[in-house]
Amino acid sequence: MLKAKLQNKIAIGALYGVAGIVVLILVALLGYILVSGMPQLSWHFLTAPAKAFLKGGGVGVQLFNSFYLLILAMLISFPIALGAAIYLYEYAKDNWVTSVVRTAIEILSSLPSVVVGLFGFLFFVVKLKLGFSILSGAFALTFFNLPLLTRNIEDSLHTISENQREGGLALGLSRWETVNKIILPAAVPSILTGVILSAGRVFGEAAALIYTAGQSAPALNFADWNPFNISSPLNPMRPAETLAVHIWKINSEGIMPDAKAISSGSSAVLVIAILLFNLAARYLGKRLYKRLTSA
């Protein structure tokens, strides 16, 4: 009896210790990123173009590229993921076709992102001759994002009570109308949360991009918004190094004199962006849920 109690005490104490160490590691990690990166942040750093061989460059172009790629990738992947999730959850019968499809989605989600990037390189950059471009990068990110987003949306559909579906069908609506008019509006808050969280993942992805969107960031003319001009920020055919790729590149090349400072700053920007995505997902999800459901 005593032995069991003593054992209990020791074990619980050990668990406190383990959890303490993990918290310490995680806090030190976040702290290191923020403390070493925050002093680098300034308006100049966030907006100025990068300098390859000199000190004092910024990450303005890379930051813009990251957001532009994120938006394009989301625009392509969201409708596909939505359709796939609707079919999987609302229509699909439990048969071998469905299980094959589910397996395929699982495989896609577990593929290393470098493999997805290499496929993007082979197919879009080389075969379709899109070159190192924003478009190639957006497609690669789409593949990377699709399985995650599909699963998120499916989970959101799952949270809507079966009564709502029965209600719609009992009113004589078709299944499609039920989904569109009843289920989707009710699921919007949690779908949005899922979209924002996956946006955070896409925002920091680099391995899928180094051979698709490329590793160079040509200077942009932010006064030129015609997508067909080569120096226009909106041109989807230009190569576009993102912030995450930038960190990798300047560290592995080692020709930029202040690479370390720039990487610390960029890391802090990435982490803060992810933090904001997370907070926004929580906040907007709750807020929208209140507004849409009067709950």
Q: Which of residues 199-238 bind other proteins (CB under 8 A)?
A: 200-201, 203-207, 210-211
Sign of CA dihedral 230, 234, 238, 243: positive
Spell out the long-range contacts of 220-223 with Cβ–Cβ below 8 A and sequence spacing 24 or more: 220/49, 220/61, 220/64
**Is there a contact between 131 and 142 (Cβ–Cβ < 8 Å)?**
no
Residues within window 130-159 making contact with other proteins, judged by CB under 8 A: 143, 146-147, 150
Classify residue 175 as exposed, middle or buried by CB count within 10 Å of its CB (0-12, 13-18, 19+).
middle
Q: Which runs of E-coded beta strand occur in the chain? A: none
Residues within window 5-34 making contact with other proteins, judged by CB under 8 A: 5, 7-8, 11-12, 14-16, 18-19, 21-23, 25-27, 29-30, 32-33
Instruction: Tell the smallest beta-carbon distance from residue 101 to other proteins (Å).
Output: 6
Nearer of residues 4 and 219 to other proteins, judged by Cβ? 4
Choice from 176, 222, 225, 228 touching other proteins (CB under 8 A): 176
Q: Is 54 in the site for other proteins (CB under 8 A)?
A: no
Residues within window 231-270 making contact with other proteins, judged by CB under 8 A: 244-245, 247-248, 251-252, 260, 263-264, 267, 270
Residues within window 77-136 making contact with other proteins, judged by CB under 8 A: 79-84, 86-88, 90-91, 100-101, 104-108, 110-116, 118-119, 121-123, 126
**Alpha-carbon distance values, 183 to 51, 98, 220, 272 (Å):** 51, 21, 43, 34
